[in-house]
């Protein structure tokens, strides 16, 4: 809707015409002015006599006969009747004083104003002494109303389902809210086909607006839950100088061995020289050593063990999915390489490459959940592309693992499942990203669960979860009819499959069930978040979230939170 301009007020305006008037015209004008002044004087004296103030009768003589013989008019410049559209600039054409057919340069007073923001007729007076000319200006409302369709313009539902209108509104610049005047034509049947609904409305001036919504009714797709992740395989116990495990600790890594003899020390060797010696502790069959990496000089190192007779290079037999790969430690970017079954550690200066890294859930051959009409992977992609665009509008550096249906960013062994390759790639790039999260949409077998859920790593503290808890509170407050009997901000134990509440910042020393949490934390020492804003399997929740476009304000709350968390200033969408 156009904004109303400021009112254009037309008050006193001087208009001039021809110069060098004839002496006769000048004399006439002087006589007119004298006559008018005399009339005013007579009226004033008469009033005084009436009040008893004076008792003298004054007779004024005038040249009235001479004046009456002259023709004086106020001539309008331009049309006497003008029409302009609302919000157009109005400029008075003006008027001149004409005496006996000759234009003068006498001043003409313009009285009245035209408000182009309000339709109607306005009378503008042009005055010279007691002579008045009037111009009529008509402001015409030619601005059509605006129809806004709530929800999506293109909706897909399953055959046999009843179409539910997401809603609409209509506003006019003059009449205000005219939603009740909207006429909807068209019908959506329960049989397969493409249907068009037309929405039309007119304002009191006869201006018309219209909009359309396309509804596609399709054969229901097979209902499908997102596949459950399987726990990683149990590693075989190894012996001699083979590393049994590598785990991240605060400032570095902890390596563990099962060895029939006591290990005296664990060493870091670079170019054949020892650059660090680390104490070994025994706990049952396990021998462990902590190796700090946060202040390690940049270079390439190998892990050795000392068992008395000499130093042996430690060997690795762990599967790729069970060994650390890359991490930030202090100001170092630490990368691990396991070529030839040796454990190589390289360090280099650390720097962030991305502000936001988003995993678009599922993709490739994995459609995710299916609710009969929509594939989760498609919803995940549309939401992610929107969020990425909005983040970039705020000047943030964003990376996605896919921009279409195909997985574009995968890493790891060639025989790994696509899901594992996806998580491994997210972890690799997540090390140099400030915020890492995954977009999903939920489903349940019975369709009773609804609303948002956020899944976080088990070890994240309350302080680390400040932005995610803020997003969660936004979502909870805006989602209607929430089922109170379900976890919504939680983690899950890999060993017991138990759901553990995290809403109050609880910390659990357990392994994470979900690969987005587990693989990123265990192999890359980063913490990824899983967002699931709605349940596709719940018709009411899905209709509110997707068909009514409430996914957009939910995404905006996420965008706002992370923009401000990263030190920026949030700007709402245009």
Per-residue pLDDT at 406: 85
CB 287 within 8 A of CB 257: yes
Q: Which residue in the block uniquely carries the two structure tokens 């804003």?
A: 533
Per-residue pLDDT at 365: 84
Instruction: Per residue of the chain (574 residues), give pLDDT as tens.
Output: 444 444 444 444 444 444 444 455 555 555 555 555 555 554 454 444 444 433 333 333 333 334 445 689 999 999 999 999 998 999 999 999 999 989 999 999 999 999 999 999 999 999 998 899 999 999 999 999 999 999 999 999 999 999 999 999 999 999 999 999 999 999 999 999 999 999 999 999 999 999 999 999 999 887 766 655 555 554 444 445 678 889 999 999 999 988 778 899 999 999 999 999 999 999 888 899 999 999 999 999 999 999 877 898 988 878 877 889 999 999 999 999 998 889 999 999 999 999 999 999 998 888 999 999 999 999 999 999 999 999 999 999 999 999 998 878 888 777 777 888 899 999 999 999 999 999 999 999 888 899 999 999 999 999 999 999 999 999 999 999 998 877 899 999 999 999 999 999 899 999 999 999 999 999 999 999 999 999 999 999 999 999 999 999 999 999 999 999 999 999 999 8
DSSP element (H, E) containing 43: helix 23-50
CB 110 within 8 A of CB 122: no
Pairing of strands 453-455, 489-492: parallel
CATH 3.40.630.40 is right for the domain spanning 354-565? yes
Q: Which fold has domain 242-349?
A: Immunoglobulin-like (2.60.40)
pTM of the model: 0.75
Please state, in angstroms and as integers, the Cα–Cα distance from residue 37 to each residue in 105, 127, 133, 478, following that order.
21, 17, 22, 75
Q: Which fold has domain 146-218?
A: Immunoglobulin-like (2.60.40)
Mention every residue, 6+ apart, whose C-beta is less than 8 A from residue 482. 450, 451, 476
Indicate where the chain has its CATH 3.40.630.40 domain(s): 354-565
| CA atoms of 235 and 246, how far apart (whole Å) | 12
3-state secondary structure of 100: coil
Mention every residue, 6+ apart, whose C-beta is less than 8 A from residue 32. 67, 70, 72, 129
**Which 8-state DSSP code applies to residue 112?**
-
Pairing of strands 154-158, 208-218: parallel
Closest CA to 213 of 189, 181, 190, 187: 187
**Which spans in 51-115 are helix H?**
64-68
| Burial degree of 570 (CB within 10 A; 0-12, 13-18, 19+) | middle
| CA atoms of 212 and 94, how far apart (whole Å) | 47
CB atoms < 10 A from the CB of 419, how many? 21
Per-residue pLDDT at 458: 96
3-state secondary structure of 393: helix
3-state secondary structure of 258: strand
CB 442 within 8 A of CB 500: no
Identify the bridge partners of residue 109 per DSSP, sorted by sequence position: 127
Per-residue pLDDT at 2: 44
Q: How many alpha carbons lie under 13 Å from residue 41 in its C-beta half-sphere?
A: 12
Select 8-140's CATH number: 2.60.120.380, 2.60.40.10, 3.40.50.300, 3.40.50.11860. 2.60.40.10
Per-residue pLDDT at 1: 46
| CA atoms of 411 and 413, how far apart (whole Å) | 7
| CA atoms of 387 and 382, how far apart (whole Å) | 9
Quick one: residue 447, left, alpha or beta (phi over 0 = left, psi -120 to 50 = alpha)?
left
Beta-sheet strands, E only, within 420-556: 433-439, 453-455, 489-492, 499-501, 529-532
Q: How many alpha carbons lie under 13 Å from residue 364 in its C-beta half-sphere?
A: 14
Per-residue pLDDT at 533: 98
Indicate where the chain has its CATH 2.60.40.10 domain(s): 8-140, 146-218
Per-residue pLDDT at 531: 98
- Please give the structure tokens belonging to residue 52: 């008893």
Sheet holding 242-249, edge to edge: 281-283, 286-292, 252-258, 242-249, 315-316
């Amino acid at each position: 809707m156009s904004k109303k301009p400021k009112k254009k007020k037309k008050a006193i305006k001087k208009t001039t015409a021809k110069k060098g008037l004839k002496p006769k015209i000048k004399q006439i004008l002087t006589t007119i002015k004298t006559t008018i002044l005399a009339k005013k004087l007579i009226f004033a004296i008469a009033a005084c006599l009436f009040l008893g103030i004076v008792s003298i009768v004054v007779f004024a003589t005038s040249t009235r006969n001479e004046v009456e013989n002259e023709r004086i008019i106020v001539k309008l410049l331009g049309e006497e009747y003008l029409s302009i559209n609302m919000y157009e600039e109005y400029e008075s054409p003006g008027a001149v004083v004409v005496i006996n057919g000759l234009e003068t340069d006498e001043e003409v007073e313009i009285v009245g104003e035209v408000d182009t923001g309000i339709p109607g007729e306005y009378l503008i007076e042009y005055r010279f002494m007691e002579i008045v000319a009037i111009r009529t200006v008509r402001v015409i409302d030619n601005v059509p109303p605006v129809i806004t369709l709530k929800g999506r313009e293109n909706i897909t539902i399953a055959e046999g389902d009843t179409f539910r209108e997401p809603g609409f509104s209509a506003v006019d610049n003059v009449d205000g809210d005219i939603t009740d005047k909207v006429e909807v034509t068209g019908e959506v049947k329960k049989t397969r086909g493409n249907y068009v609904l037309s929405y039309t409305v007119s304002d009191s001036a006869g201006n018309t607006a219209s909009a359309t919504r396309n509804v596609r009714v399709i054969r229901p797709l097979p209902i499908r839950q997102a596949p459950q992740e399987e726990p990683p395989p149990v590693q075989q116990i190894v012996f001699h100088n083979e590393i049994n495990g590598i785990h991240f600790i605060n400032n570095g890594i902890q390596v563990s061995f099962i060895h029939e003899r006591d290990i005296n020390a664990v060493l870091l060797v670079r170019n054949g020289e020892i650059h660090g010696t680390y104490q070994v502790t025994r706990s049952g069959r396990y021998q462990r050593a902590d190796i700090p990496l946060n202040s390690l000089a940049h270079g390439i190192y190998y892990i050795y063990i000392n068992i008395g007779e000499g130093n042996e290079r430690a060997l690795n037999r762990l599967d790729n999915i069970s060994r650390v790969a890359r991490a930030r430690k202090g100001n170092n970017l630490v990368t691990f390489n396991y070529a030839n079954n040796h454990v190589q550690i390289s360090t280099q200066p650390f720097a962030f490459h991305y502000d936001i890294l988003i995993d678009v859930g599922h993709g490739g051959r994995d459609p995710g959940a299916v609710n009969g009409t929509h594939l989760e992977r498609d919803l995940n992609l549309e939401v992610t592309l929107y969020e990425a665009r909005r983040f970039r509008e705020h000047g943030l550096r964003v990376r996605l693992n896919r921009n279409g249906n195909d997985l574009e960013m995968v890493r790891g062994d060639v025989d790994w499942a696509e899901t594992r390759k996806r998580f491994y790639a997210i972890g690799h790039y997540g090390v140099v990203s400030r915020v890492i999260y995954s977009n999903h949409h939920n489903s349940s077998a019975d369709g009773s669960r609804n609303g948002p859920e956020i899944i976080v790593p088990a070890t994240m503290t309350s302080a680390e979860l400040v932005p995610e808890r803020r997003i969660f509170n936004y979502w909870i407050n805006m989602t209607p009819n929430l089922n109170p009997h379900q976890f919504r901000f939680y983690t899950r134990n890999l060993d017991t499959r138990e759901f553990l509440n995290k809403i109050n910042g609880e910390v659990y020393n357990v392994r994470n069930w979900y690969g987005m949490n587990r693989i990123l934390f265990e192999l890359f020492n980063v913490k990824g978040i899983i967002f699931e804003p709605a349940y596709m399997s719940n018709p009411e929740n899905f209709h509110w979230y997707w068909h009514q476009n409430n996914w957009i304000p939910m995404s905006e709350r996420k965008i706002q939170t992370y923009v401000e968390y990263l030190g920026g200033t949030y700007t709402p969408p245009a």
